[in-house]
A and B are shown apart, each in its own frame.
Chain A
Amino acid sequence: MYEWRSHTAEIELAVDAGSPEEVFVEAVHALAELISLGRDAEPQSNRVAIEAADLGALLVEWLEELIVLADTESFVPERVDDLRIDETSLTATLVGRGGPIDPLVKAATYHGLRFARDDGVWQARVVLDV
């Protein structure tokens, strides 16, 4: 499950999930909800491969990929196929559609970044620049 939390000049994504993979999938649904103003008919897919210093940085870069695809291709993701992650790399196929985008989100930040397991629940917190 995910939740958007609003601060003075930015918004925070909070995800609680049963596995790291689920955190990455929930983040896709959360961002799609935030940016999408509608969808065109034609499905599209985008192959993504990312490397980063750790799981937290990987989540920041994953959100960055989604923001860039929205910004440059007006792409709104709907689901994630073939997701593979380890501590420092991720590959996946994003399936979604083109459509009008709310241009509010500029970037995912490392501010207050958290990606950890607590009492059997994977918790992630990422602040977005808006």
Chain B
Amino acid sequence: MVDLRRIDDTLYEIPAEARPDMRVPARVFADDELLASIRGEDSLAQLQNVATLPGIVEAAIAMPDIHQGYGFPVGGLAATELPDGVVSPGGVGYDINCGVRLLALPLTIDELGDRRQRLVHELSRAIPAGAGREGGRRVDVDEVLRNGSRTVAEREEDVERTESEGRLDGADPSAVSDRARKRGAGQLGTMGSGNHFVEVQAVDRVFDAAGADAFGLGERQVTVLIHSGSRGLGHQVCSDYVKRMDAVLGRYGIELPDRQLSCAPASSPEGQAYLAAMAASANFAWANRQEIANRTRASVARVLGDDTAANTRQVYDVAHNVAKPERHHGRAVLVHRKGATRAFPAGSDEIPAAYREVGQPVFIPGSMGTASYVLAGEPGSLRRSFGTTCHGAGRRLSRTAAKKEISGAELRRQLEGRGIVVASASNKGLAEEAPFAYKDVEAVVDVVARAGLARRVARLVPIGVVKG
């Protein structure tokens, strides 16, 4: 059993002395109940492994939605000192810039009425999901890799209301392999499989009126939440660079407790090449969610009319698998966020002017059929977690275990019984994402709110879901 020391109500720590190879402590934000679930798997040992990385500063930090991953746990962050601390592709994950985008429609659930069914099915036709390579937008891939969202955006406001304006500096298309391009070909504007979705929702509760007002959200308002990433292109970039760095660990004198943590100094040729390829993949992901947003507006226009589509605003778009150079506590660091979301507080230059008085919007999807949250970044995130909060509910059960508990057809019946319209090509995929396979999003959000990392602004409940 790992020796966890309680620091305060929401923070626990494994001291750096717990293992001879740890350079810094490992910290986890949680409550007693979440901690019991976290202790039931290997995620804390994985967090200790992260604490061994050369150049890591302060602590390896996990959010309350942490679960076991491969190499890095999912739901954690590591800041490494620049220029010579390491960059680790596994610290970003396979789905580079997996993230979430929220659109707000100019109508309430009552005004939507029984057109919700048509809207969900129109979205499922417009946004390809699951297998197959058809239906993506044909684009100049190099242009997308260099310039991200703006390449496909139909309105400038969407770009302004996207983290990093939908484009990371330093992207180099030539650092992305032909194989990665081939895997991403035809996938721009497609959702993918697994836990990716497009969900139609309604605001069921406003917690913070000023925040909700700034984000353009009101009680009973209809929203669309988009969850997707860099598709096959990002997966291949991660695979390419895990292998490339694994092969040169000896050259940099790096010893690791798990080969999936493979890494190289950020200043090394391998580190620089990965950062250039990762930025290009992140740009691809932002363009992908932008194209999904374009298609969402087109669907809204077909079902609800051109005026409704024209007044469908983007609230924001956040990445939850990415590494970014930032300044924290007086030094330049590379913040790896894997299943964790940037959550800068009010006053940050990095967030759109319209939100600068309330803090950066953060979206926390719950499991399918449960609530999702809109949060705003709080000052505690800068003090305690390198400007970071959680990213979701966090998986609790394996896909196999979920399928043993319920069939896709039965889950579909249950969701529809609660008034949620379901459009999913695969009953199996549906069962694997059953709500009970995830932790309680309410408990996760409660911890980050009490820890001062982010505050609740609004809660969204699903009225329709499109899945791969």
With A8-B41, A9-B69 known as contacts, the answer to whether A104 contacts B398 (CB < 8 A) is no
Which one, B94, B131, B400, contacts A6 given CB within 8 A?
B400
Cβ–Cβ contact A103 & B468, under 8 A:
yes
Cβ–Cβ contact A57 & B246, under 8 A:
yes
Which one, B41, B192, B260, B400, contacts A109 given CB within 8 A?
B260
Cβ–Cβ contact B239 & A107, under 8 A:
yes
Query: What are the residues of chain B within 8 A of A72 when measuring CB–CB?
Result: 182-183, 232
CA distance in complex: A68, B243 (Å): 15
Query: What are the residues of chain B within 8 A of A52 when measuring CB–CB?
Result: 243, 247
Which of A9, A61, A64, A100 lies at the interface centre, i.e. has the most chain B CB atoms within 10 A of its CB? A9
Query: What are the residues of chain A within 8 A of B194 when measuring CB–CB?
Result: 104, 130
Q: What is the distance, in angstroms, from B205's C-beta to the closest C-beta of chain A?
A: 30
Query: What are the residues of chain A within 8 A of B468 when measuring CB–CB?
Result: 103
CA distance in complex: A9, B70 (Å): 9
CA distance in complex: A101, B130 (Å): 10
CA distance in complex: A113, B242 (Å): 13
Check: A53 CB closer than 8 A to any chain B CB: yes
Cβ–Cβ contact A6 & B399, under 8 A:
yes
CA distance in complex: A101, B243 (Å): 25
Cβ–Cβ contact B131 & A9, under 8 A:
no
Q: What is the distance, in angstroms, from A110's C-beta to the closest C-beta of chain B?
A: 4
With A6-B398, A103-B192 known as contacts, the answer to whether A111 contacts B235 (CB < 8 A) is no
Q: What is the distance, in angstroms, from A13's C-beta to the closest C-beta of chain B?
A: 13
Query: What are the residues of chain A within 8 A of B247 when measuring CB–CB?
Result: 52-53, 57
Check: A10 CB closer than 8 A to any chain B CB: yes
Cβ–Cβ contact B74 & A9, under 8 A:
yes
Cβ–Cβ contact B71 & A109, under 8 A:
yes
Contact with B along A87-130 (1 / 0, CB 8 A): 00000000000001111101111111100000000000001011
Check: A78 CB closer than 8 A to any chain B CB: no
Which one, B131, B238, B258, contacts A101 given CB within 8 A?
B131
Question: Which residues of B224-267 are within 8 A (CB) of A?
Answer: 232, 235-236, 238-239, 242-243, 246-247, 258-260, 262
Check: B95 CB closer than 8 A to any chain A CB: yes
Query: What are the residues of chain A within 8 A of B262 when measuring CB–CB?
Result: 110
Query: What are the residues of chain B within 8 A of A68 when measuring CB–CB?
Result: 179, 183, 236
Query: What are the residues of chain B within 8 A of A108 when measuring CB–CB?
Result: 239
Contact with A along B61-102 (1 / 0, CB 8 A): 000000111110010000000000000001000110000000
Given contacts A10-B68, A110-B246, 8 further A-B contacts (CB under 8 A): A8-B68, A11-B399, A68-B236, A104-B194, A108-B239, A112-B70, A113-B259, A127-B70
22 contacts between A and B (CB under 8 A): A7-B41, A8-B395, A8-B396, A8-B398, A10-B69, A10-B70, A11-B398, A57-B246, A64-B239, A68-B179, A68-B183, A103-B131, A107-B94, A107-B235, A107-B239, A109-B71, A109-B260, A110-B258, A110-B260, A111-B70, A111-B260, A112-B258
